[in-house]
Structure 1
Amino acid sequence: MQAEINKVELRNLKIQDYKELKNSMIESYPEMVDDYWREADIKKLLKIFPEGQLVILVDDIVVGAALSLIVHEDLVDQNHDYAKITGNYTFSTHTAKGEILYGIDVFVVPKYRGLRLGRRLYDARKEICEQLNLKSIVFAGRIPNYANYAHEINPKTYIDKVKRKEIHDPVLSFQLSNDFHVMRVMKNYLEGDRKSKEFAVLLEWNNIYYIESPTIINTEKTVIRLGLIQWQMRPLKNLEALFEQSEFFIDAVSGYGSDFAVFPELFIAPLMADYNHLSEADAIRELAKYAEPIRKRFQELAISYNINIISGSMPNLVDGVLYNSGFLCKRDGTYETYTKIHITPNEVFHWGITGGNTIQTFDTDCGKIGIMICYDVEFPELSRLMADEGMNILFVPFLTDTQNGYTRVKHCAQARAIENECYVAIAGCVGNLPKVNNMDIQYAQTAVFTPADFAFPSNGIKAETTPNTEMTLIVDVDLDLLKELHEHGSVKILKDRRHDLYRIKKLKN
């Protein structure tokens, strides 16, 4: 039974701690009585890298420590032993220009093991790695139980059994539980380590916040503000009236600092009223004439209001083939086209629309995004391929006439957010168009959906509008929360896929 503890403190090592540090190290490594750090070594470590040296105290007595260097990545990639990585114990390998936080020692005296004090030391190391913008933490962990199995199995098999919890190793089991992954086995790493047979396991923890080349301006944003427009279908006299109404909403959401303005699918349908005397197929082809002027005006508005605009969708005639397409107009003045891939039976029967052939993601100043139009969100393969390309936000402009149709879009969008560990933003049209055939009623509730984990709303809904009411929805989404989820979520859906059993791949580029 452990003695009563009144206070636990984690802080940086001081030279005044040396005597207690020496005692705790000798107690932690009884098999290596003379292999403790000398005072001169500790003084040098504190001189070259004081913030990397940590101690943990129980009732003001040092009972554990974690010592580190910063080294270049290429040194870690080379086959090395303990002497080489420490510069033959001189710490000459340390450099402030390195990319790797290399752990050269960590221990907790036996009396205080089982209190997760080692976990505190590792968590503090991770904070240092993040704060110094280092790529990862690397160290070679001993496997002190290997001596008991060396006559039966090789180190690789031993590691696999520890991973599967068939064998417990006091060092390796702990490292794996702290999100470190195995890089490779190191032979003859630490001379005199009889319990490990001088083998060690090179382990790594990746800093998900690492920025390879930090810049002062134009850095990629991590908190993104979305401006979603729940568009009221209303009679419009002409194209200029559409532009006037569109600019009103772009002005409104950009005034709140939004990074994106998102319009719904076929939001330009009111302009089809002038062609109501034609067949539905001919009327929508007349509407397709507006696609190019809209694209040009939205490009201008994206620049003027410093906002990325997702233009919902509109009929678009290309080489005589009718598509349901939209434009991503970026605030740098460029644009890209996206096209609905899966066409509903209604679109085929009444309008003769053809599905597109390109599955793609888009690079923006807010990271990589995906855009799918309405029905496409009901096909999970598309967004999974986008997630594999690094998509963080999926935008879904939609148009549904009934609550049944909306329910399909909503619940499929929520599923896409969970299974792809991303945000999904949907924007739809509301209201009635009595003078436009096949577009008479609309039902929508615009929303932003999230994964379902502790960092997000428990119901997976970040925000949503009032149903069937014209309004905007302005929502912040934090991309860093997605990084945390990918690495440390309650479940790790993308990582846990069984690629040994199944894969999804594109058949066309």
Structure 2
Amino acid sequence: MRQEIKKVELRNLQIEDYKQLKKSMIEAYPDMENSYWDEKHIEKLLEKFPEGQLVILADDIVVGSALSIIVSEKNAYKVHTYKEITSNYTFKTHNDDGEILYGIDVFVHPKYRGLRLGRRLYDARKELCEQLNLKAIVFSGRIPNYAQYANELNPKEYIEKVNKRELFDPVLTFQLSNDFQPVRVMRNYLEGDKSSQDFAVLLDWNNIYYEEKKKLINVDKSVIRLGLIQWQMRSLGNLEALFEQAEFFIDAVSGYGSDFALFPELFTAPLMADYNHLSEAEAIKELAKYTDAIKKKMQEFAISYNINIISGSMPYLENGHVYNVGFLCRRDGTSEMYRKIHITPNEVFHWGITGGDVIQTFDTDCGKIGIVICYDVEFPELSRLMADQGMNILFVPFLTDTQNGYTRVKHCAQARAIENECYVAIAGCVGNLPKVNNMDIQYAQAAVFTPSDFAFPSNGIKAEATPNTEMTLIVDVDLDVLKELHEHGSVQIMKDRRHDLYQLKKLK
């Protein structure tokens, strides 16, 4: 019968708790002789690592505990016994400079089970692992129901069936439900564990926030600030006028500490006004003559304003073909080109644009990003391949003339955020450009979209600009929240794909 309790407390173990601790341990391990720690062992643990010793109290009585040491990664994962990992219960294996939080005991008094007290202890261990910047939690768990199946299943087969929920094990099932993963079977691990037939399962839980080493400068950032530029189409007298307007916005978003500035697709189109007497196909080739100069200037802006610039897109002439391209201009002065892969019927008919053939992600000082141009976002394969390469933020410069076109871009971008568990930032051009053929009207609303889970806005929209108005949108996105989602989300889309039924891969 479950105990009724009025107060539950989780705190660090104190030596004054020993008598209650011993009593609860004896009750927790009724099938094991000498199932409790001697007081001298508890004193030694508290001397070496007081932060790692936890207890649960119910109405001021110790009813559960989690005991831990820190060991080297090598010792944690090699084959060992319980005596070896604890150095014959002296805990000389404890190493303050180790990488692994090793669990040497977890128990809850049987009268207090069913209240999720064990989960509290496990969660507290995980929090401790993160706070101490340790790589993982490792321990070898008992499999006390294995004795019932030992004549028909070997330990590996038993573990697989428990993992598939075909069998229940009171210890292993609980550990698996707390996100611990089996690593290997341990033979003769705990002497006298007859119900487990002296077998155990080495399990681990990886700390996704672990940092390899502390840095004083160039620390990896968790919160990334995005500066989205909703660009007003206007007549421009020359290239310098374009640079002046672009610099105004770069200055503005960098002044707010933005890590990225995102320009729209074909924001350079006003420069085509001088070639309006030519056919659209010839005019776009003339516009392409500015592209090298624009790239060079964007590189200068990226350095001088200390910001990564995604230069929207512009025409690029190569071997007689016109491509729709843009440039990632990093603040360290380096740059890379990206190309629009899927070309709309309008681009083909009026401008003769050719599609690119490279699917890639880009490394930046703010993590790995992807860039697709407008129509590309309506093809889910591209961003899924990028997500498989570790993309956290997808940037989408776009150009749409009507609200119908914008709706396609918006809703597809939202879908990409959900299905790839990433952030998606979109930015487009607004206003009219009457003196340039095929560029008369534009409709846009810059936005940042998120996955759909409890840590994010309920509608999946982090922020939106005012539609059809020239402005900037400054938005913070947190990469650590994405890490949490990938491992512990309500659904885990990237992990739950059925690779046994289907696969997606690049052909070149």
Q: Which residue of 1 aligns with 2:200?
A: 200
Deviation at 1:424, TM superposition (A): 0.2
The answer as to 2:346 corresponding to 1:330 is: no
Deviation at 1:290, TM superposition (A): 0.8
Q: Which residue of 2 aligns with 1:47?
A: 47
Q: Which residue of 1 aligns with 2:123?
A: 123
Deviation at 1:33, TM superposition (A): 3.2
The 5-angstrom pairing of residues 209-228 of structure 1 reads 209-228=209-228
SS of the residue corresponding to residue 286 of structure 1 reads: helix
The 5-angstrom pairing of residues 88-127 of structure 1 reads 88-127=88-127
CA distance in 2, matches of 1:405, 1:35: 69
Deviation at 1:165, TM superposition (A): 2.1
| Partners of 2:228 and 2:472 within 8 A in 1 | yes
SS of the residue corresponding to residue 325 of structure 1 reads: strand
Q: Which residue of 2 aligns with 1:13?
A: 13
Q: Which residue of 2 aligns with 1:341?
A: 341
Q: Which residue of 1 aligns with 2:181?
A: 181
CA distance in 1, matches of 2:199, 2:358: 50
SS of the residue corresponding to residue 64 of structure 1 reads: strand
Deviation at 1:220, TM superposition (A): 1.2
The answer as to 2:247 corresponding to 1:273 is: no
Deviation at 1:2, TM superposition (A): 2.9
Q: Which residue of 2 aligns with 1:300?
A: 300
CA distance in 2, matches of 1:192, 1:296: 73
CA distance in 1, matches of 2:165, 2:181: 15
The 5-angstrom pairing of residues 436-447 of structure 1 reads 436-447=436-447
Q: What is the letter of the counterpart of residue 386 of structure 2?
A: M
Deviation at 1:96, TM superposition (A): 1.1
Deviation at 1:76, TM superposition (A): 2.1
Q: What is the letter of the counterpart of residue 106 of structure 1?
A: V
Deviation at 1:382, TM superposition (A): 0.7
Deviations 1:14-71 (A, max 9, x none): 1111111111111111122323211111111111111001011111111111001111
Deviation at 1:156, TM superposition (A): 1.8
Deviation at 1:160, TM superposition (A): 2.0
| Partners of 2:311 and 2:329 within 8 A in 1 | yes
Q: What is the letter of the counterpart of residue 118 of structure 1?
A: G
Q: Which residue of 2 aligns with 1:139?
A: 139
SS of the residue corresponding to residue 195 of structure 2 reads: coil
Q: Which residue of 2 aligns with 1:66?
A: 66
Which deviates more, 316-325 or 419-428? Answer: 316-325
SS of the residue corresponding to residue 266 of structure 1 reads: coil
CA distance in 2, matches of 1:361, 1:390: 8
Deviations 1:93-136 (A, max 9, x none): 11111111110000011010111110010000001100011111
The 5-angstrom pairing of residues 485-496 of structure 1 reads 485-496=485-496
Q: Which residue of 2 aligns with 1:417?
A: 417
Deviations 1:288-314 (A, max 9, x none): 011111111111111111111110000
Deviation at 1:348, TM superposition (A): 1.1
State the TM-score, normalizing by the size of structure 1: 0.98
| Partners of 2:222 and 2:478 within 8 A in 1 | yes
Which deviates more, 211-220 or 284-293? Answer: 211-220
CA distance in 1, matches of 2:32, 2:296: 74
CA distance in 2, matches of 1:88, 1:40: 13
Deviation at 1:148, TM superposition (A): 1.0
Q: Which residue of 1 aligns with 2:363?
A: 363
Q: What is the letter of the counterpart of residue 93 of structure 1?
A: T
Deviations 1:454-504 (A, max 9, x none): 111111111111111111111110111101100010000000011111111
Q: Which residue of 2 aligns with 1:287?
A: 287
Give the number of equivalent residue pairs: 508
CA distance in 1, matches of 2:185, 2:405: 55
Q: Which residue of 2 aligns with 1:469?
A: 469
SS of the residue corresponding to residue 350 of structure 2 reads: helix
CA distance in 1, matches of 2:295, 2:331: 13
Deviation at 1:319, TM superposition (A): 3.0
Deviations 1:197-250 (A, max 9, x none): 011111111111011122121111110111100101010000000001001111
Q: What is the letter of the counterpart of residue 6 of structure 2?
A: N
Deviation at 1:320, TM superposition (A): 2.7
Q: Which residue of 1 aligns with 2:504?
A: 504
The 5-angstrom pairing of residues 372-383 of structure 1 reads 372-383=372-383
CA distance in 2, matches of 1:453, 1:307: 30
SS of the residue corresponding to residue 37 of structure 2 reads: coil
Question: Where does the alignment leave 5 or more consecutive residues of structure 2 unmatched?
Answer: none
Q: What is the letter of the counterpart of residue 453 of structure 1?
A: D
Q: Which residue of 2 aligns with 1:435?
A: 435
The 5-angstrom pairing of residues 21-40 of structure 1 reads 21-40=21-40
CA distance in 1, matches of 2:72, 2:320: 58
Q: Which residue of 2 aligns with 1:310?
A: 310
| Partners of 2:231 and 2:264 within 8 A in 1 | yes
Q: Which residue of 1 aligns with 2:396?
A: 396
Q: What is the letter of the counterpart of residue 262 of structure 1?
A: L
CA distance in 2, matches of 1:70, 1:316: 57
SS of the residue corresponding to residue 195 of structure 1 reads: helix
CA distance in 2, matches of 1:448, 1:106: 44
State the TM-score, normalizing by the size of structure 2: 0.99
Q: Which runs of 4+ in 1 moved over 4 A?
A: none
Identity, in percent, stands at 80
CA distance in 1, matches of 2:121, 2:256: 42
CA distance in 1, matches of 2:243, 2:27: 76
CA distance in 2, matches of 1:194, 1:127: 33
Q: Which residue of 1 aligns with 2:258?
A: 258
Deviation at 1:88, TM superposition (A): 2.0
SS of the residue corresponding to residue 383 of structure 2 reads: helix
CA distance in 2, matches of 1:214, 1:409: 41
CA distance in 2, matches of 1:450, 1:408: 17
CA distance in 2, matches of 1:270, 1:59: 74
Deviation at 1:405, TM superposition (A): 1.0
| Partners of 2:417 and 2:449 within 8 A in 1 | yes
CA distance in 2, matches of 1:188, 1:33: 16
Q: Which residue of 2 aligns with 1:247?
A: 247
Q: What is the letter of the counterpart of residue 401 of structure 1?
A: D
Q: What is the letter of the counterpart of residue 109 of structure 1?
A: H
Deviations 1:348-400 (A, max 9, x none): 11111111111111111111100000011111111111101110000000001
Q: What is the letter of the counterpart of residue 408 of structure 1?
A: R
SS of the residue corresponding to residue 480 of structure 1 reads: helix
| Partners of 2:3 and 2:112 within 8 A in 1 | no
